[in-house]
A and B are shown apart, each in its own frame.
Chain A
Amino acid sequence: MSTTVNIPPQFEIVDRPLDTQMTISMGPQHPSTHGVLRLELVLDGEMVVKATPDIGYLHTGMEKLFEYKKYQQGIVITDRMDYLNPLGNNLAYVMAVEKLLELEIPERAQTIRVLTCELQRIASHLVWLGTHALDIGAMTVFFYCFREREKILNLIEAASGGRLTPSYFRIGGLMMDLPAGFERRVQQFQDGFLKSVDEFHTLLTGNRIFQKRTQDVGRITAEDAIDWGLSGPCLRGSGVNLDIRRANPYTGYETYDFEVPVEQDCDVWARYMVRMREMKESHKIVTQALSRLRPGPVKADAPKVVLPDREAMKTHMDALIHHFLIVAEGFDVPAGEVYHPIEASKGELGVYVKSDGGPKPSRVHFRGPSFVNLSALPHMSEGAMVADIVAIIGSLDIVLGEIDR
């Protein structure tokens, strides 16, 4: 019996592209495209020759809408961009306007902003982790992630009244102070969370299928990552130590003690590890912010911009007048333009606000991290398998609401 097998020539494995390339459309209803993203894939067998993202299915003209709304009305629009990290969007927008108004934000409001934003970052990463694992085929992780995320959404609801669209931050501070017992509830979440992260690690990190699906997949070198404008965990997964919270600190992040996780592997696995470690760092920041909460005002002392307290309105004529004017006419913002970047859960979220002096902005532009990260997908998916595309999209952590705006 001979061990050699004669392979007929038509089945021979050859290192040249087949004559017939196939173009298929992946999405916009494909579940692993995280929304309505369409990819035009040129395939050679199962290998991707070219992947071209086609976006815009969720375009609702938000940037146009800003120009027709007063500054304070714009906050609710920001919620609907990156709907997994609405507080980050709120923060970037209100901070850009505050920069134009040159407002001083009280200490307590700053601390609460950091506290809630880091909780939101954990929630956003939990959705990423659950859906990323689900795309690759691990279903259990999804349920555990959403269980933890539910706790955070309940906390955000307690503070702001909204779960997905909190609009909690206002130009000049917060909508209102934290409710009674909030610190205790955050502490309860904090106590259980680290154990949950370890659970996620046992489910995925040691899982050989998960490792095979993610390691050496979707590689992008540090130079390419910078050239393509990647930011956030995607950039840090390529070995670049860059975090806007450290590079251009805002809301007092320079005073918090946390590490910036960086991985050198440049692949889907590295981006996975960065986000897993980031959740623990955010947990650390929340603990520090909790210990810093001191009683104090949560709104800036700017009666012409910040709505007065309910009680003051009932007793003070000027407070009533200011309230009426802010609601009915808005407030004038000095002419000028600013670009304010923050480290959102997905990367650099920059807000460009241009004012010509009136109560409505002349131009608002959002530099969404998902938009830029997705633009590098064709580069990362060259030569990958179709199934890898799913892993790569998952590792980019895109939200189409922010991409299409």
Chain B
Amino acid sequence: MTTGANNEGNLSEPATNLDQKSTPSQLVTALQREHAHWVTEVIEAYGEVTAVVPRLHIVDVCVDLKSGVDTKFDFLADICGADRGVEEEPRFEVNYHLFSTTKHHRLRLKVELHEADAHVPTVTGVWRTANWHERETFDLFGIVFDGHPDLRRILLPDDWQGHALRKDFPLRGYEPYSLK
């Protein structure tokens, strides 16, 4: 029952060494140096850092970033899918927005997926909060998260046909939907 600002014993201390901590882009570069094949591309734009990760290594990268002393990305803020367009190849991408509750920095991981093989390993083993995010991405994009404990539709009814946020799904759906 104490105020947070001056409270000792909180999990996170007020960020004091702001100038000493490494930026997310430095962290990604360090990761790339250590495991060259884990990060295929680093994009820096609008003050945000994106690391493109091959789907084979996404779990390894997440575990490493979560437990690393400098990285400490202990908080998975969000997972969202995106459809680049029917013609595009790879068509889908899955974005993981990472955040550190102690270092307060953010990083985006991106996995690119081909339509014919839209599978990606689950990260529910790393952060339990990934559960619903992955279900939502599965529901709306049809991206399958291999190893997910409970991969069901979450927003749309179980017997819904198609995946609503794909670009080739019409805005008004295919036909009036009625619950059977």
B57: min CB distance to chain A, Å: 21
- The answer to the question of B5 belonging to the interface, with a C-beta cut-off of 8 Å to chain A, is yes
Q: Do B164 and A61 touch across chains, with their CB atoms under 8 A apart?
A: yes
For chain A, the count of residues having a C-beta within 8 Å of the partner chain is 52
Q: Given A56-B157, A241-B12, A260-B4, verify A339-B127 contact (CB < 8 Å).
A: no
B83 adjacent to A363 (CB under 8 Å) = yes
Complex CA distance for A33 and B98, rounded to whole angstroms: 30
Q: Which one of A61, A259, A338, A405 has the highest number of Cβ atoms from chain B below 10 Å of its Cβ?
A: A61
Contact with B along A218-238 (1 / 0, CB 8 A): 000010001111000000100
Mask of B90-126 contacts with A, CB within 8 angstroms, 1/0:
0000010101010010101000000000000000000
Contact, CB under 8 Å: A375 / B101: no
Kindly state the separation between the CA atoms of A239 and B10 in the bound complex, as whole angstroms: 6
In the complex the two chains form, is B132's CB within 8 Å of A273's CB?
A: no
A-side contacts of B5, CB under 8 Å: 241, 259-260
Q: Does B16 lie at the interface of the complex (its beta carbon under 8 Å from any beta carbon of A)?
A: no
Set of chain B residues within 8 Å of A350, measured between Cβ atoms: 77-78, 97
Bound form: Cα–Cα A263–B74 in Å? 20
A339-B106 in contact given A365-B80, A375-B129 (Cβ < 8 Å): yes
When the two chains form their complex, are residues B4 and A261 in contact, meaning their CB atoms are under 8 A apart?
Answer: yes
Tell me whether A304 is interfacial, beta carbon within 8 Å.
no
Given contacts A227-B128, A339-B95, 18 further A-B contacts (CB under 8 A): A56-B156, A61-B171, A63-B165, A102-B46, A242-B101, A247-B104, A248-B106, A262-B10, A264-B1, A337-B50, A339-B97, A339-B108, A341-B99, A348-B77, A352-B97, A354-B82, A367-B77, A367-B78
10 residue pairs of the A-B complex, CB under 8 angstroms, read A64-B164, A99-B47, A100-B46, A227-B74, A248-B104, A264-B2, A352-B97, A362-B84, A363-B82, A363-B165
State the B residues within 8 Å of A (CB).
1-5, 7, 10-15, 45-48, 50, 74-78, 80, 82-84, 95, 97, 99, 101, 104, 106, 108, 127-129, 131-133, 140, 153-157, 164-165, 169, 171
